[in-house]
Amino acid sequence: MSKSIQPRTRKVRILATLGPASSTVEMIAKLFDAGADAFRVNMSHGDQESKIPLIQAIRSLEKTYGRPTTILADLQGPKLRVGKFEGGRTMLETGKTFTLDRDPTPGDATRVELPHREIFAAIARDARLLLDDGKLVLRVTDHSDDRIETVVEVGGALSNSKGLNVPDVVLPMAALTEKDRSDLAFAVEQGVDWIALSFVQRPEDLAEARKLIGGKTALLAKIEKPSAVARLEEIVEACDGVMVARGDLGVELPPQSVPPMQKRIVETARRLGRPVVVATQMLESMITSPSPTRAEVSDVATAVYDGADAIMLSAESAAGQWPIESVAMMNAIADAVERDPAHGDRVHFTVTRPDPTTADALAEAAKTIAATVSAKAIVCFTMSGSTARRIARERPAVPIMVLTPRHETARRLGLLWGSHAVHTRDVESFEEMVAKAKRMALRHNLAKGGDRIVVCAGVPFGVPGSTNVLHVVQIIGDELKGYKDGN
């Protein structure tokens, strides 16, 4: 027996990262109870075998709660690192010269190995090299096929295998490493709902992942490099969703550039009808503290006001001391913002003009009609989820109930703003569609007797992308009589 099929009242989704602090069935269920709508499995840490119990635990929630669960597998991506030093570390002095080369001999204060041939081929004079999450800054003065000469602009301690960022050039590197390809194949085999691709630089980076996925899961592009921002619209159009990955984006861009960049990415994704996740350091202090800073609360609120589809917790829920409290706090902030009477106006600051298609016209009309007749919900029937995404793009004031015969579609919609997905048998006639929409709205407590709902679907039924019907119906209240199952 399912524990509850009461939909979330909030429309923004919460994506919680799992890790050492949240790896048991009991803890994952507590995170779900606290407000998590979807779960991120980080492939950067641990081996593949360790992910199987996590995925099984997430899926087990479906029977307990009577609703689909959503799993995002986040690939590590290509990690650039310097080589090793004599004694394990050195000190780079500001104003001194420093060389990166192909020599594997342990480095010192004047040089170190850079084991990435692609950087030597692409680097340019005056380009910056950022070390250890941007703590140290080098400026390229000269370069050849096996040496990069730099001057240290910001010095400091540097130890073995520290990370390297190259923000000023597009590197001729594949977005997928051998580890990523293996992890992607594993994730697809395990039936995850989303694959997140790290360090996307250009739309072409998505092509290989698309081919390997083979249509079995949705593809999310993490925007964390300035080169990706330069081709943002093309990248968004080439994927199923995007993430504002503010960690590396904040390393490669000046800190003051990240907030306007975040708004630009969110606006572009919304305009093009792709779910957008805002991530990294949202409640960072709650890794060690039971309460967030006021600045963090404001940061989460801003993403909700901007109309992001989902907001994400990273280490807060994966490795922090207060994982349940972090999710509950994010849930409370989102609830408070969405209750603000000004929230609706702010969410619609982004203009989402419909494409000249029947489906887009009906999605826009569904929002308007729901507001005009004071409908309690929009109920849409969909095979692929495209109808739901179109309606969500309009950010209606009422919940979107998504009825689909495909488990895969229902699960992917866990990152979609305002949606409550239900896996159910397909309908075969207009009358059956109307009757099922009424039953489901009652069963899931979205409406009661006397309420109106707006129903959106495509005829003929079962054909993806054929949305062409919009219907307003009033619920009597006795539609569930004689129906004992979930359909």
Q: Which residues are catalytic?
A: 40, 81, 222, 280
For 423, which DSSP code? E
Q: Among all chains, which residue has been given the structure tokens 């997140």?
A: 196
Would you say 220 and 194 are in contact if contact means Cβ atoms under 8 Å apart?
A: yes
- Give me the residues paired with residue 164 across strands: 131
**Region label for 88, one of left (φ > 0), alpha (ψ between -120 and 50) or beta (otherwise):** left
Cis-peptide, bond into residue 167, ω within 30° of zero: no
Closest CA to 276 of 300, 303, 257, 252: 303
Closest CA to 164 of 133, 143, 135: 133
Per DSSP, the chain holds a count of helices (H) and strands (E) of: 17, 21
Q: Which residues of 183-195 are buried (b: 16+ CB within 10 A; e: fewer)?
A: bbebbbebebbbb
Task: Tell how strand 377-381 and strand 419-423 pair up.
Answer: unpaired
Would you say 455 and 482 are in contact if contact means Cβ atoms under 8 Å apart?
A: no
Tokens linked to 40: 């991120």
In angstroms, the CA 264 to CA 154 distance is 30
In angstroms, the CA 412 to CA 177 distance is 25
Closest CA to 189 of 318, 73, 275: 73
Amino acid at 35: G
In angstroms, the CA 224 to CA 116 distance is 20
CA-based max dimension of the chain: 82
Element (H, E) at 373: none
Closest CA to 10 of 307, 220, 271: 307
Q: What is the SS3 assignment for 99?
A: strand
The interaxial angle of helices 25-34 and 323-339, nearest 10 deg, is: 20
Closest CA to 243 of 226, 265, 264: 265
